[in-house]
Amino acid sequence: MADIGQLPHLVSLLDDESKTVRKAVVREMMAFPGLREAIRALPDSLVNSRREPIEAVLEEYHREWIRAAWPEWFEFPGDIARLEKALTMLAKFQSGIRYRQDLPELLDTLAAEFRSAYSSGNVLLLAKFLFQVKNLRGARETYHHPQNSNLVHVILSGEGLPISLSCLYLLVGARLGISVEGYNHPGHFMARVEHNGRKMLVDCYHGGQLVEEKDVAVLHPAENGDADLSPDRIANAEIIIRRVLNNLRRVYELCGHAPNGQLMDDLLRQVEEQFSRPSSGGDRTWDPALSKKIPRFGRGQFVRHKQMLYRGLVVDFDLRCDDGGILPQGQPAADREQPWYHLLVDGSDQVSYIPESHLEPDPLRSPIQHPLIGHFFTKTPDGRWIRNGTPWPK
């Protein structure tokens, strides 16, 4: 058992000149149970003088913690409870040593404030309260920052992604007995509500704007023209968490943080393995057809063909095979109903159109060589390629 009394001495050695000593120190610190809380108890002068190496150790500590603890939310009773537990774990991981306010407590506070402001409530009043009174809003200048998926950060900063703001709406609503559903609209997650017998979407990113069915295609064009309020797009906890993890994986890759990008991929794999089999009980639901239409890979992500092992860069995707009615030779008809990706093939001038089931994340994650890369991507000053606005030809 690690001796907590040795922690101050170990922290003082984190910047030792010897790499061997530093590795041994990190190994010893990683063995402490409750390392984050123990470091908080140290004198501020010691922590501040070693803040950078301490945060590096804690980041690895938190990666190991969430990998091991992640399956806990799978068995929570009820979809809302599962969603809240998973998002709480992600918030704790992303906040690291800064995690001082618990997500459930912050949600409780928002619900209590709503109750004190309104004698009764409905979905429209709650949207007004969260997105106008409390001014929770869409992050624009920092859209691709990983913390926009951290619900603790979103509540404290007032800014988040469409899906994180929708989750706040859903979770606060659950505390108040107000029914809000996640709506898995391609490219722009929203919430679906019912008021006075009318079903509508709430765009939490744009101030709680109401979107009726006839306006969906105009305000938020869907991939492949699918623009109705289909019940097939109602997102349960598993669907929402998959999308959150996909978002995080992409932004960590964009900011060059490979360990966290790989972590999100590992967590996503655990989700897929758990929910790819029928439920053994409870109220968990699994819809394979719906799950297959959530893209695993994003534009600008490096992938590899599982069988042929060639590398490629995702330029665009379709939610189902869009080939004019003809599947590639030898492709089972069932493979049509999943995301398909347009890839620039590394080391050639070829492009390919491949179903998701044939692809995996590229372990190299290094740039590819292709004559069209400059047409669809813009090179940043630090050497990364970011997808530009040039559309893929249809």
Phi, psi values for residue 229, rounded to 5°: -85, 60
Token pair listed for 122 = 């409905």
Nearest to 320 by CA among 306, 311, 331, 307: 331
How far apart, in whole angstroms, are the C-alpha atoms of residue 54 and residue 68?
21
pLDDT score of 176: 94
Q: Alpha-carbon distance 373 to 315, whole Å?
A: 9
Where do the DSSP E strands lie in 112-172? 137-138, 159-160
Residue 226 pLDDT:
44
Q: Interhelix angle for 237-254 vs 79-95, to 10°?
A: 20
Helix (H) or strand (E) holding 82: helix 79-95
Nearest residue to 251 (alpha-carbon basis) of 239, 241, 260: 260
**Contact (Cβ atoms closer than 8 angstroms) between residue 156 and residue 209:** no
Q: Residue 287, Cα to own-chain centre: how many angstroms?
A: 20
Distance between CA 298 and CA 385 in Å, rounded?
Answer: 13
* pLDDT the model gives residue 244: 96
Determine contact, residues 151/109, Cβ cutoff 8 Å: no
pTM of the model as a whole: 0.65
C-beta separation of 346 from 312 below 8 A: yes
pLDDT in tens, the chain (394 residues): 456 677 787 777 777 777 787 767 776 776 666 676 777 777 777 767 777 776 676 677 778 888 888 999 998 888 999 999 999 999 989 987 666 678 999 999 999 999 999 988 899 999 999 999 999 999 988 898 999 999 999 999 999 999 999 999 999 999 999 999 999 887 789 999 998 888 899 999 999 999 876 666 555 544 334 444 556 688 999 999 999 999 999 898 888 888 888 899 889 988 888 876 544 333 434 344 444 455 677 777 888 999 899 999 988 888 778 765 456 666 666 677 788 899 999 999 999 999 988 998 887 767 889 999 989 887 765 556 677 778 888 6
pLDDT of residue 227: 45
